[in-house]
Amino acid sequence: MNETFLAIINPAAGGGRCRERVGAALDRLRSAGIRLETAETSAAGHATQIAREAYGRGYRKFLAVGGDGTSYEIVNGLFPESGSQESRSQVSGFGSQGVLAAEDQVATLGFLPLGTGNSFLRDFEDGASGIRGLERAMQALEARRSRPCDVMRLTHNDGAIYYTNLLSVGFAADVAALRHRRFQGLGQFGYLLSIFLGLARLDRRPFPVRVEGQGEFDSRRCLFLTFNNSKFTGGTMMIAPDAVTDDGLIEYVRWGPIGRLGLIRNLATLYDGTHTRHPLAERQAVRRVEFQLDGPVDVMVDGEVLTLECRAIDVLPSALRVVV
């Protein structure tokens, strides 16, 4: 297998700041003895194509240069969303029962967080050290420090997608979809405006789901459901404080039909993780979740907004190594 890192660069990440800063970061890594090759993306989905083709050529080490969206696309290149079960097993390194087939099939993913959002990396920061973001990611690469990481698989009517951070439906997805479709060019103001409009509408509705061990689908109305591998979203929001990235489990968080005033009063608890103590909140760690939806819904997955008819989420345990 090729021991060289393939750095997949989204030059537009971070409002174009990635293009300006990536050269110095790559030079530092090369000076530390890390072998690198580079490829730039030119459109949405391009990182997936680059990663998939490179994996087929024997690359097993990848570097996501950008934000959460770049990492998400690379992961989906390593775990194809189409094709036969046999081809998926060959590429991901997992057999039909989800059992790891061979160590040399498992890819390693490092990060140069030069984009707008880098929520996944927050799980691994040491607050006491004061070293965060790009510097901490660089130090992890220089130290050759890696660990196993689960990969979540969502199957839907048209195939499957894979993620390492979280997938949400309900309020969070509604806000993200509104920003993406109407206020994308307004930066942080667009995000705040989307939250305000989301509060005004506050569509609390059912998303029927059944987790392992339950006989019936849960069709109660809710503010949101989120299915997590790691703790953070939006950079600083600790939506799943009990999530562990290598425990082989989905951290499922549900917040029931809280009202506008209640949500406003408790908004700060979403940032320190104490929202899970609210009387309308629930959490479970499970291996599989099934959906019984009437049709496609907006989902937010690792910072991306998609419209999908979800069927089920399961876990590929330790399917990836991450440099953190």
Which residue type, as a one-letter code, is found at position 242?
A: D
> What is d(CA 249, CA 316) in angstroms, rounded to the nearest whole number?
9
Distance of CA 31 to the CA centre of its chain: 30
**Is a pLDDT exceeding 70 seen at residue 211?**
yes
> What is d(CA 240, CA 238) in angstroms, rounded to the nearest whole number?
6
In tens, the pLDDT along 42-76 reads 999 999 999 999 999 999 999 999 999 999 999 99
H helices then E strands: how many in the chain? Answer: 9, 19
SS3 at position 187: helix
Residue 231: partners with Cβ closer than 8 Å, 6 or more residues away: 122, 123, 238, 239, 240, 241, 243, 273
**Is a pLDDT exceeding 50 seen at residue 294?**
yes
**Strand extents, DSSP E, 17-84:** 36-40, 59-66
> What is d(CA 41, CA 224) in angstroms, rounded to the nearest whole number?
33
Q: Could you tell me the pLDDT band of residue 81, with boundaries at 50, 70 and 90?
A: low
Work out the widest C-alpha separation in the chain, in whole angstroms. 57
SS3 at position 61: strand
> What is d(CA 130, CA 115) in angstroms, rounded to the nearest whole number?
20
**Is residue 71 within 8 Å of 122, Cβ to Cβ?**
no
Q: Could you tell me the pLDDT band of residue 102, with boundaries at 50, 70 and 90?
A: low
Mean pLDDT, residues 13-19: 89
Q: What is the pLDDT of residue 164?
A: 97
**Is a pLDDT exceeding 80 seen at residue 100?**
no
| Residue linked to tokens 């690379």 | 74
Range of weakest confidence among 40-54, 112-126, 153-167: 112-126
* Terminal-residue alpha carbon distance, the chain: 22
